[in-house]
Amino acid sequence: MNKTSVSGDRDVPCDTNDIPDESGELFEHFRFIVDKKQGQLRIDKYLMARIENASRNRIQNSAHAGNILVNGIVIKPNYKVKPLDVISIVLAYPPRDTEIYPENIPVSIVFEDDDIIVVNKTPGMVVHPGHGNFTGTLQNALLYHMQQANPGEPEAKPYLVHRIDKDTSGIMLIAKNELAQTKIAKQFFDHTIDRSYVALVWGNLSGDEGTIDANIGRDIRNRLVQSVYDDPEKGRHAVTHYKVLERFGYVTLVSCKLETGRTHQIRVHFKHIGHPLFNDESYGGNEILKGTTFTKYKQFVQNCFKLIPRQALHAKSLGFVHPGTGKFIHFDSDYPDDLSAVIEKWRNYSSASTVTNEE
C-alpha cells in the first residue's frame, strides 16, 4: 500500500489526561489527501491504516452518520478511495482508558430515550473519571442508572459528546450508543449545536452586547488553565457572543452563546476582556476586583463568595438535532439555588446603594 499524504488538519479539543475538569467538544477531525499511486481500496480499510485506535466499527458509524466526506461529498461505507481524493472524517471521541464503575449517585435527568440522556448537572460533580477523580462522577452515576434500567443489557453505557467544568452547573447531553454519539459529534464539529450559558462577571460592561473572538490555548506556565494567544499556532480559534441581562454596578449578569467549545472558553474570554467570572479562582475572579474600599462592601462580597463557592457559570440551555428522529429539540434549565441567591443579593445591594461605574 502506498504512503498517503496527510494535510495535518486534525481537530482534537484537548489532551484529556492533563486538565481534570476540562470543558469542550469530544470529536476528532482528520483530513487526508490520497497519494497519486494509491490503488482503489475500501475507505474503512484505508482509514483504519491511518488513524490510530480507529476500529472498523467507529469508521463505519462515521460513514452511516454522514461524517465522511470525499471531495466535499458524503460517501457510503463501501466507497473505494481513488488517487488524489480529499477525505474528511469526524470521529466521535474514543472511549477513555479509565475503567468506569457504576455508582448509585443521584442525578437530575431532564429527558431520556433510546438514543440520548439530557441531564442538569449539579455544581461540584466531575463529568468523567480521571486525574484523581475516579469515583463520584456523572459517568459513574449514569452507568448505574442505565444498568438498572436495562438489566438485560450489560453493555449499556453512557457515551460522552461534550463536557462542562466540575464547578459549572447546567444542561449536558449524553449519547446512549455509538451511532448517536457519532451523529452528535458532527453537529459539534459543524457548530450547529445551540448552547447558551449565564455568567456573573466582574465589572460593568461598556455595551449591551458584544463578541469575543480570541484564540485559546493551554497556558505555558500553568497547564491547568488556558490563555489567549495572538499566534494561531499557539491557540485555537474561539468565539463567544454575549448579551447583558442585568447590571448591578460592580458585577454584570450576562448570557453567552458559543460558536466554539474550547476548554474554559467563557472563563478565559471574559478574563481576557477584563471581566473575570465572579469567584472564579482559576482566572482571578475570587478577588474583589471592582467596588469601594468600605469594610461593609468587602464583607458583602465575602458573603457573596460564600453563597456561591465556585465560578458563577451555568449552562442554561442546549439545542440540537436528535440523532434518531432528525428533529431539532431544545432544553432549558432554571438557575441553580446558589446562582439565584447571589444574583438576588447583588440585585438588592445595587438597588439600595448608589453604585458608580468604575470602569
Assign residue 303 the CATH number of its domain: 3.30.2350.10
**Residue 324 has what DSSP assignment?**
T
Residues 85 and 145 in one domain: no
Q: Which CATH number characterizes residue 47's domain?
A: 3.10.290.10
The C-alpha cell at 188 is: 459539534
Phi then psi for 118, rounded to 5 degrees?
A: -115, 125
| 86 alpha carbon, distance to own chain's centre | 29
Residue with cell 439530557: 118
* Residue closest to 316 by CA, chosen among 300, 331, 305, 299: 331
Active site residues: 165
**Which residues form the domain of 122?**
108-189
Residues 182 and 198 in one domain: no
Residues 308 and 344 in one domain: yes
| Number of domains observed in the structure of the chain | 3
Query: Could you tell me the mean pLDDT of each successive run of 10 residues in the chain, 359 residues long?
Result: 33 34 69 94 94 88 94 94 96 76 95 97 91 86 92 82 94 95 93 96 96 94 93 90 97 96 95 98 96 94 98 98 97 97 97 59
Residues 87 and 117 in one domain: no
Residues 18 and 53 in one domain: yes
Name the 3-class secondary structure at 63. helix
- Asked, for residue 358, whether it belongs to a domain, the answer is no
pLDDT at residue 130, as a whole number:
77
pLDDT at residue 155, as a whole number:
75
pLDDT at residue 354, as a whole number:
57
**Cβ–Cβ under 8 Å, residues 140 and 100:** yes
* Residue that finishes a domain, picked among 174, 189, 204: 189
**Cβ–Cβ under 8 Å, residues 176 and 156:** yes
Residues 85 and 113 in one domain: no
- Strand pairing category for 169-175 and 313-321: parallel
